[in-house]
Copies of this chain bind each other. A is one copy, B any other.
Amino acid sequence: MKKNVTISDVAEQAGVSKTTVSRYLNGRFGNMSKETKERIKEVIAEMNYRPSKQAQALKSKRSYLIGIVVADISNMYSSLLLKGIGEVLGKAGYQMIIMDAANSIEQERELLDRLIDQSVEGVILQALSRDAHHYDHLKKANIPLVLVDRDVEPSIFPLVTTDNVTATKKIAEEILSKNYEQVVVVSEPLKDVITRELRYEAVKEVVIAAKRKLTLIEATAETNLSERISELIASPLKTALFASNGRVLMELLTILVNEQVPIPEDIGITGYDDWNLSALVGPGITSIEQQTKVIGEEAANTMLECLKAGAYPVETKTIPAIIQLRKSL
């Protein structure tokens, strides 16, 4: 077990002081002699020296660590989000500490505390609570917070999110243009997450304005979706399902495929597709694709700005979604 070489070792070997080496490391060769510079460079290469980020951080108050907390890492949304964030942050010399709240608000709280302990310089969060006060301690600790996907109330943090309202209204109009008499929104419980509410309200506005029937199914683990769908198919009204997120869409499709329900003949279906795979299913599913990677990139950029400015630009960046028109309506 060979011990690590430190700045002192390098200094000694090069016959200079730690200060000089430190200056070299930080590119502050204001007027350092060519020779010392060369000498240090050689010694560093020779000894295979790498400065300890820990020590640097402790002293300089810069950890170059950004904490990322996602709601559920096994969701495809997270993958693409992390990809985008990682690319931007990596280029800027930052590292990500990624954590998975696993949809538990208590766990999220715990994770945020741990991130603070690690002296992260900022946090990018897909919030589980919609209550801004829940995140007060970050503000108190003076750690910049950038929200992705979901806003909190009141909106006191910068946010990067899909343009939910526009996209949802567009697809609602698409539904109506196909003369559906009833639109059934299937969503996880509305009250937990603002985004869900936003999407529901958007559909509602369009459908109500057109005087068609609107139904809401708030699905939980207990909901027997299969049964509800059978009922809808049995009803005389020409019906379209709107899945308010990727998970729900996949669940609905699984049911329809399993029961071999003809799409769109017996029932229409559309919604948000995080997996971007709905082209493959059935006749091709008309759906809304979010530009998740772009959201990640923008969130990272926002973070970088906060860090540079030392201030909070409390603005919302809205990323347009892409409507994929296929044959399920």
B279–A277 CB distance below 8 A: no
Contact of A119 among B2, B52, B116 (CB under 8 A): B52
Residue of B nearest to A281 (CB): B280
Quick check: is A162 within 8 A (CB to CB) of the other chain?
no
**How many copies of the polypeptide does the oligomer hold?**
2
Q: Which of A87, A98, A140 has the most CB of B within 10 A?
A: A98
Chain A residues within 8 Å of chain B by Cβ, number: 52
> What 0/1 pattern do residues 272 to 292 of A give for CB contact below 8 A with B?
000101011110100000000
B97–A96 CB distance below 8 A: yes
A58–B54 CB distance below 8 A: yes
B86–A80 CB distance below 8 A: no
Quick check: is A293 within 8 A (CB to CB) of the other chain?
yes
Residue of B nearest to A283 (CB): B257
**Which residues of the partner chain B approach A83 to less than 8 Å between Cβ atoms?**
73-74, 100
> What 0/1 pattern do residues 68 to 92 of A give for CB contact below 8 A with B?
0000011110111011001100100
Give the Cβ gap from A114 to chain B, nearest Cβ, in Å: 7
Contact of A1 among B55, B118, B119, B142 (CB under 8 A): B142
Contact of A73 among B54, B79, B95, B99 (CB under 8 A): B79
Give the Cβ gap from A81 to chain B, nearest Cβ, in Å: 10
Known contacts A52-B117, A281-B280; A96/B98 CB under 8 A: yes
A50–B113 CB distance below 8 A: yes
**Which residues of the partner chain B approach A275 to less than 8 Å between Cβ atoms?**
275, 277
Quick check: is A57 within 8 A (CB to CB) of the other chain?
yes
